[in-house]
Every structure is written in structure tokens, then in C-alpha cells.
């Protein structure tokens, strides 16, 4: 009986070794404009890759800058997308950015457990607790990223709170800065009004253009947007709709021209 109670109260599954979500639950969203206390690198050169990818960079002095993070999952939640991407792109470094401390801790424990039970895998994935609306330039150099993900972000329904939305014209300037030309922003939401907002912001920005339908159908990553995360799976179970916007970072226009 005591052993059963101990197993029931364990933060990790006895069979899989993975952390149990119920011990890491937090509010669905946090206020991105509030001040939280966590360390932030002064500049991208100060990001310690040995903390995030210890097998690849055993110590800080082993990092020579030749291999950098290329994928960023902003508001990564419980890390479902990252875990799927990790094996799909085993040579690509990727990181989740999450504001909620308990959720960040869950993803850390999940990655540690997966690395332990799958030697040689998941060494390219990590997570950091941070506020991506404030500190994106602290983590990534100009044109460093090839993919950014914004899956089921907080809709901030009240008009006075729209400035808290993680996709807006001001923040798109920052995302365009850290994305290299040809890089992709992937977004999905189950809130139609937010979907319209996101698409309008991306359409209105001179450094992004919509990815074609043919390219979307050929992109295996697009299929993960609605299936890899807890939120996406919940929407699917409830028969809900989702609204995607996938856009490419393009070169700046150097003469008088219009975006087509």
C-alpha cells in the first residue's frame, strides 16, 4: 500500500521515467508584460550552450560558434513540438522559450528523461525560462534562426490587452532580425479572431510573405502544428477549428515596390 502511494505521488512515471504533467501544471498563460526574475544573457554570445547541449558542448570553451540554435519554439508549453522536431531534424539545435517556471521545469525533466532512455537522441533540444517578448535579441544573433514557432499563443481577447499578443508589427521586426532570409514563421491558433490578427500582421510586414499552398503541403513540419502539442490534441478531440499562418522571411525591398 505504501509503495503504491509512493508511486502515485512520484513526479516521474515508474514505467517510462518521464515527468508527470499533473505535478507541473500552471496557469494556461502568463502576463508577458510583468517583470519576472530569471537570468538573461547580456547578448547571444553569452548563451551557454554547454548548459543546454552538454553532450555536444561539454564545457563553454568547447563552443566555437560554428553550430548555433536554428529553431525557436516561442511559448513551447510542455514541449511536444520540440520533442517531435528533435528526431525529425537530429542535426539541428533547437530551443523552447517558456515564461512559466513549472512548465519550463517539466520540459527540462522530460528532455533529461528522454536522453537517458534513448542514448544519442534528444541531445539537440533544450528549453529556457524567459520572456520572449522582451529578450529575443539577447538569445539570437542577426539572421541566426531558420524556423520560429508560435503555437496556440494567448489570444488576449480584450482590446486593451492586444499589445500583449506575441505576434504584432513591432515584434515582427525583432523576429525578422533573428530569422535569416528564407526562414519560416509557423503559427496556429484555435481562435479565429486571433488567426485573422496574426495573418494581418504578417501580411502587413514588408519582410514576410505567405508560403504557398503547394509548399505547405510538402512541408512535414506543418502537419505537426496541430498534432504535436497538448493544445492541438485537445482542439482535435473537441472537433474544433484551427487557423494557420505560415510565412517566409524575405529580403528587404531596395526600391519602390509593393509586396505581392
Q: Based on the residue annotation, tell me whether 64 is a catalytic residue of this protein.
A: no
- 91 annotated among ligand-binding-site residues: no
- 132 annotated among ligand-binding-site residues: yes
Query: Shortest CA distance to 235 belongs to which of 198, 191, 195, 199?
Result: 191
- What nine digits make up the cell of 68? 548555433
- 227 annotated among ligand-binding-site residues: no
- 231 annotated among ligand-binding-site residues: yes
- 258 annotated among ligand-binding-site residues: no
Bin 222: left if φ > 0, else alpha if -120 < ψ < 50, else beta.
Answer: alpha
- 98 annotated among ligand-binding-site residues: yes
- 230 annotated among ligand-binding-site residues: yes
> DSSP of the chain, one letter per residue?
-HHHHHHHT-SB-TTT-PBPGGGS---S---TTS-------SSGGG--HHHH-TTT-SSGGG--SSS-EEEEEET-TTSHHHHHHHHHSTTSEEEEEES-HHHHHHHHHHHHHHHHHSTTSSTTEEEEE--HHHHHHHH--TT-EEEEEEES-----SGGGGGG-SSSHHHHHHHHHHEEEEEEEEEEES-HHHHHHHHHHHHT-TTEEEPPHHHHHH-HHHHHHTTSSHHHHHHHHTT---EEEEEEE-PPP-SS----
- 75 annotated among ligand-binding-site residues: yes
Query: Of residues 154, 173, 190, 219, which has the active-site annotation?
Result: 154
- 116 annotated among ligand-binding-site residues: no
The binding site for S-adenosyl-L-methionine comprises 75, 98-99, 131-132, 151, 229-231
Which residues participate in catalysis according to the annotation?
154
The binding site comprises 75, 98-99, 131-132, 151, 229-231
Amino acid at each position: 500500500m505504501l509503495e503504491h502511494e509512493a508511486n502515485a505521488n512520484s513526479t516521474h512515471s515508474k514505467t517510462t521515467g518521464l515527468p508527470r504533467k499533473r505535478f507541473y501544471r500552471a496557469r494556461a498563460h502568463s502576463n508577458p508584460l510583468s517583470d519576472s526574475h530569471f537570468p538573461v544573457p547580456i547578448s547571444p554570445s553569452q548563451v551557454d550552450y554547454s548548459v543546454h547541449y552538454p553532450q555536444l558542448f561539454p564545457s563553454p570553451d568547447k563552443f566555437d560558434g560554428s553550430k548555433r540554435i536554428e529553431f525557436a519554439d516561442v511559448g513551447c508549453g510542455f514541449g511536444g513540438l520540440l520533442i517531435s522536431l528533435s528526431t525529425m531534424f537530429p542535426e539541428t539545435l533547437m530551443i523552447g522559450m517558456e515564461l512559466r517556471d513549472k512548465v519550463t521545469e517539466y520540459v527540462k525533466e522530460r528532455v533529461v528523461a528522454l536522453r537517458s532512455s534513448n542514448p544519442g537522441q534528444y541531445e539537440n533540444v533544450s528549453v529556457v525560462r524567459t520572456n520572449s517578448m522582451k529578450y529575443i535579441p539577447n538569445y539570437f544573433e542577426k539572421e541566426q534562426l531558420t524556423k520560429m514557432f508560435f503555437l496556440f499563443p494567448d489570444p488576449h481577447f480584450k482590446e486593451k490587452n492586444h499589445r500583449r499578443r506575441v505576434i504584432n508589427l513591432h515584434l515582427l521586426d525583432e523576429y525578422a532580425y533573428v530569422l535569416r532570409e528564407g526562414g519560416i514563421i509557423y503559427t496556429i491558433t484555435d481562435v479565429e479572431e486571433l488567426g485573422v490578427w496574426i495573418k494581418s500582421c504578417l501580411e502587413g510586414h514588408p519582410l514576410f510573405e505567405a508560403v504557398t499552398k503547394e509548399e505547405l503541403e510538402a512541408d512535414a513540419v506543418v502537419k505537426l502544428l496541430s498534432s504535436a502539442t497538448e493544445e492541438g490534441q485537445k482542439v482535435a478531440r473537441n472537433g474544433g477549428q484551427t487557423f494557420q499562418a505560415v510565412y517566409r522571411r524575405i529580403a528587404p525591398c531596395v526600391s519602390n515596390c509593393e509586396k505581392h
